[in-house]
Structure 1
Amino acid sequence: MDNIQKMPKGAGKSSFELIDSDKLRSALPIKPGSVVIDLACGKGIYSMFLSKIVGQTGLIYAVDLWKEGLLSLEEQIEKKNITNIMTLLADAGKQIDIDDYSSDICLMATVLHDFEEGGQADTVLKEIKTLLNPKGCLAIIEFKKIEGPPGPPINIRLSEAQVEKIVTKHGFVKKETVDIGEYTYLTTFLST
């Protein structure tokens, strides 16, 4: 029984119901045919949303370390006969089995604060940099640095300035920050 997998921090929760999905859709440079990584996707609620946008010519890589979340997503994929989502059981702090420079967008929805708190943010961002194509977009959704709930304690939340500082040292340039809900914001970065 020593191979029991520990549930990653924040697993099972999704911020999707807290965001304005129309604002998210218009802020992301996503279109039919886009290849998107939903990093630390959980049960894949964002993956399902993005799947409709990229269409049959696009692809969503739903990546998570939480096996149960991916199994739940796979059930939804099968039930709805979705063919453009590929689940990957992987640790974002290690190498992810996606071709280098092959993805257009990487979405990190309310997970950067966990990677930062766990000391993995730099490793994860370096890996993302190699997976995105040279003109790729890193899209980060985080909770506003205000008292919750919902969301994590204020001491581990990341302000817009903190997110920018963490991300830009890895060769990304901030494009914009958009308010996408009462509790959340989206910051997009371009790979250089």
Structure 2
Amino acid sequence: MKQQIKVLFFLFSALLIEKGMAQYIENDWEERDSWMDVPKIFDLAGVRSGSIVADIGCHEGYLSIHMSRKVGESGKVYAVDVRQDRLDKLDKYLEDRDLNNVETILGDYDNPKLPLESLDTVIVMDTYHEMDDYMAILNHIRRSLKPDGRVVIIEKFKSHMRNKTRSEQMKAHTLSIKYVKSELEKAGFSIIKEVKDLGNWENESNKRIWVLVGIAK
């Protein structure tokens, strides 16, 4: 029986890796640091000591924990997800690391429930393509930002989905920068930074990381 359990666990782990979910599991965070340029992301986002920031679609907290250490005791992180089980794991990881500047929030699918006019930066990483009510969420984000606050959208684009419709790309868990750029502008943001190539997602050459940074007009 124990051997069967081990085999099932191995198969399940392999399935997670195949589907690109491994980067969300704590045991894989160190490997993720090898291909994700977090310092560059924070530089683009203006995240620094004392910043008040949010991580929408935080999963188990990979980026939230990096944020926590970057903003320090004088800053604050709001970690938002729509699944309580992920937030429960993040709360445990925060306790294990003695990090006290992160508040976890169970958001709705159309509302991240962030405080109004309070945030310096909101980052949405590898989550925007999952949002059906993206315009409603962008409007909530805009209202949560301080004057000159930044919204940062980070996505991976799969090359085989080039020239596909937005709906087709969403179903493939990817999204083109052109769609999001238009949506940010429609929601009242001005694009101040655009990075079309921040490296390969999971070191796979057919998945390029892109970044958009906007501020409210």
Normalised-by-shorter TM-score class: 0.7 to 0.9
Partner of residue 103, structure 1: 119
| Residue 31 (structure 1) aligned to one of 48, 56, 61 | 48
Q: TM-score, normalised by structure 2?
A: 0.74
- How many correspondences in the alignment? 175
Q: Say which structure, 1 or 2, has more relative contact order (CA 8 Å, 6+ apart).
A: 1
Residue 169 to residue 41, structure 1, CA distance change in 2 (3 Å): same
Identity rate, percent: 26
Aligned residue for 1:191? 216
Mark the runs of 5 or more structure 1 residues left unpaired by the alignment.
Answer: 1-9
How far, CA to CA, are the matches of 1:89 and 1:11 in structure 2?
20
Q: Distance in 2 between matches of 1:140 and 1:128?
A: 11
Residue 14, structure 1, aligned to residue 39, structure 2: no
Residue 157 of structure 2 is aligned to residue 144 of structure 1: yes
Runs of 4+ deviating beyond 4 Å: 10-13
Please say if residues 147 and 154 of structure 1, whose CA atoms lie closer than 8 Å, have aligned partners that are also in contact: no
SS of equivalent residue, structure 1 residue 147: helix
Q: CA deviation at 1:134?
A: 1.9
2:78 is the alignment partner of 1:61? yes
More displaced, 57-66 or 26-35?
26-35
Superposition deviation, residue 144 in structure 1: 2.0
TM-score w.r.t. structure 1 length? 0.83
Deviations 1:129-172 (A, max 9, x none): 11111211000001124138xxxx97222222111001111110
Which structure has the larger Rg over C-alpha atoms? 2
Unpaired segments ≥5 residues, structure 2: 1-19, 162-166, 201-207
**Any idea what SS the aligned residue of 1:81 has?**
coil
Distance in 2 (CA, whole Å) between partners of 1:166 and 1:140 is 11
Offset at residue 22 of structure 1 (A):
2.8
Please tell me whether the aligned partners of residues 12 and 69 of structure 1 are also in contact (alpha carbons under 8 angstroms): no
